[in-house]
Chain A
């Protein structure tokens, strides 16, 4: 048994089996109706109780700007706002968002006019491949909401939950500071 537990895939397989059992019971037509205010519009959907918020946003609502970058809640690519708070949407169930207000990356620009943070990222080359970017921008807005004039160190510490593999963070930090001072 000890040997078995050390094996790769053991954990995922245990989780899958539990998920299969639970899913079998809960997905057999069992759904819950939720109403979430998403980007200013009330959305009512029937969702499986086990559905994560990130999957609700991406699959049920088709808002695919929110990305999935890991399976351990480490990377922050799925960061969005729940009632104005930065939240990794892989750490919440869709049903927990019932009655709440969610803002995704699709909801912050006004038509063709980018949000100041989006504009700052563009002007400071704060993105390369762009995969972490939606989560990064949502986290960055959250950082300035809490601390409108942060120091560089404060930005770096506050960004700890969002990983980027392209930029080395130099221009991300620069973008956020530019937005704060803009």
Chain B
């Protein structure tokens, strides 16, 4: 089947308008000339020719290489460290332990103060390790080869402690504890409710209960992490190049850990080879590299290896959820409850149990459920800490709720699509407040119908029936999931109330340069999505210049304004875009009196287009932004007398609320009943993400997210044995999908502007992944129904499980 990509196509807008519910994306204040166009990305030529410089490509004179000797024990006391042999190796500059870094170094800081018990961990481990991969010793050598030679010669003696590996074991009474003085392994807990869920369950016609497990996963960006620190002992300044999504958080935390005053810490971000949330975190290695550079007075660089990444970079997702759904006979859901046990790994990493909190408050998904309750217990285990990965708790919630909807549909013998239709939040209830958040807008049923049409569900159902009738070896299943995504994070005060010591605002600085070109500075940070292209389009439209006049600068804490957050939480297009829009409008307001003065007209009569400012009705009476820039910086004599030289504005945008894109996923899965292999052969996403800055980039985000979600359903799981030893920590064991396992994607798009974001944008970065596991597993269930197979309640669904389901009958 052909790929149908409909993002931005007029007929989709027409479709939406014909239904009378969703309009075309029109920014009523800013004319759209560049916004919405699939402009090619500016960064691509450098990336395609190998010119772009990733962290490992940087070269500073005199740089030596750092490597970390990591714990091979899951839980142990460090008895003795022998470094003599390593020190004696050629090219070795230093071998350092926590003692050498100094015991006055504070524990790793955190942005999320969620009322949990403290779980301190340090740049290098002291006395005790709690997971395989915890860094204990840093070896520094002149070359990478000499470093590799020396690292294996560091010897560490351990005294083993009992390990806690399984999530439920960690939560059980009498389990060994990871932290002295704790009665159990519960690092934090949370509960939220609306209505009376117990009464709703007691009075319901049908109640379905299930225990659902979501496996341990990780972002696995193709570029690992890395950092290069350079200490200027005379100026007492530290420059840290690091592969991160959040340069200002890194800067503040490096200052805290090293004691170097904040203005003297300069974080610079080279080309980033993917992040997916894992690089939102501040890591022990960043602290260690900075501290080592200061101790040695040498630039030092660390490049994470792939196998190292699997034990040193945050994992995510792992949770067990006991869920209940209650409904009337007609399919009206009256209550949902979920008890979540979330596996934090060995320490509460930077975002603490934030993702599990989001799982809890998203426990009603897109449905009008009057009674709901979610409880969450965050437990520590002897595994790598968990944290951020694209979706941040939402894929877990979506999987639970959408699975429960499927189970309920089965119980009621209803069509799963119709069950969803009956319970979707209707547009007249928007804005709708669920367990915590308020959904800003949405025409869910329109998207549901458009999605079914886009996916050609009727045709697939006919094909499925044909194959079933023929007893075809390859059987088909069709699964759907409806999703909503928390984007444009977020309202700073709301975030503080939720326990976060960080903001959700963005600050944008825009300067009209003396030659008439425009520089946008943002604290957001590219990790490869290309959102800076969208920001350039937004700036060009709001300022009235040609998009090629605009340059966007990111990733430098000296040059760029402070941001409360960095890039993540699908906020760059929405919050960043609105901040750029606000600053560009303000800058245009500063340009107007200058242009009116030069053209001897009223400000109201000025027309801005592609950098030319003309008098309405007399296009030949015009000046360019170059004329304005020259006057503003070099020839103040041409300015009105009351206007000071310079044209630079800084504006802050702090959203009043989050923006919520939504949509329907339809997965068609083919199962080879002889090999038990499941393959997604068709996959459709119909979505609404508000105003689209660049449809090409939106489509790319959906493709990538969907691929990761399909992989979560079928392939990816980080495995540990009972001793806490990782069993598949490299690309030979942890299988991320190749082109062979992925389908073509069909995308369809409609636009409902977000009422809470000026410009109307909603985020899209995590949308593709959220509903994907539920749709794929639903399709597998559907395919195996004739075999009498029970629904799958955990991910990934492996060929082994499918084989057993088929043969058990």
Contacts and interface: CB of A to CB of B under 8 A. Distances in A.
Interface in B650-696: 696
A17 B224 CA distance: 24
Contacts of B272: 129
Contacts of A71: 305-307, 730
Contacts, number: 230
A171 interface: yes
A168 B274 contact: no
B721 interface: yes
Interface string B508-540: 000000000000000000011110000000000
Contacts of A7: 72-73, 725
B739 A160 contact: yes
Interface in A15-73: 15-17, 19-20, 23-24, 27-28, 48, 50-51, 55, 58-59, 63-72
A181 interface: no
A42 to B, nearest CB: 20
Interface stretch (B441-449, B697-705, B795-803): B697-705
Interface stretch (A81-89, A91-99, A103-111): A103-111
Interface residues of A, number: 75
B484 interface: no
Among A15, A129, A137: residue with most chain B CB under 10 A:
A129
B153 A20 contact: yes
Contacts of A160: 738-740
Size class of B's contact patch?
A: 35 or more
B501 to A, nearest CB: 29
A170 B274 contact: no
Given A105-B49, A128-B530, A170-B742, A17 B44 contact: no
A83 to B, nearest CB: 20
Nearest to B222: A131
Interface stretch (B111-119, B142-150, B164-172, B464-472): B142-150
A64 B53 contact: yes
Interface in B138-166: 144-146, 148-153
A22 to B, nearest CB: 9
Contact of A20 (B50, B152, B306): B152
A122 B48 contact: yes
Nearest to A137: B48
A16 B305 CA distance: 14
Among B45, B530, B700, B730: residue with most chain A CB under 10 A:
B700
A78 to B, nearest CB: 11
A170 B271 CA distance: 23
Nearest to B155: A13
B145 A27 contact: yes
Nearest to B746: A170
Contacts of B708: 165, 168
B40 interface: yes
B152 A17 contact: yes
Given A63-B50, A106-B50, A167 B704 contact: yes
Nearest to B50: A65
B462 interface: no
B354 interface: no
Given A114-B48, A169-B739, A128 B152 contact: no
A166 B700 contact: yes
B120 interface: no
B49 A20 contact: no
B306 A69 contact: yes
Given A159-B740, A167-B704, 6 more contacts: A13-B72, A15-B152, A69-B223, A105-B50, A134-B48, A165-B219
17 contacts: A9-B132, A24-B89, A24-B90, A64-B57, A69-B222, A70-B730, A71-B730, A106-B50, A118-B45, A125-B700, A130-B47, A130-B528, A163-B738, A165-B704, A166-B528, A169-B707, A170-B707
Interface of B: 3, 40-41, 43-45, 47-54, 56-57, 70, 72-73, 89-90, 132-133, 144-146, 148-153, 219-224, 271-274, 276, 305-307, 311, 527-530, 696-697, 699-700, 703-708, 721, 723, 725-726, 729-732, 736-740, 742, 744-745, 768
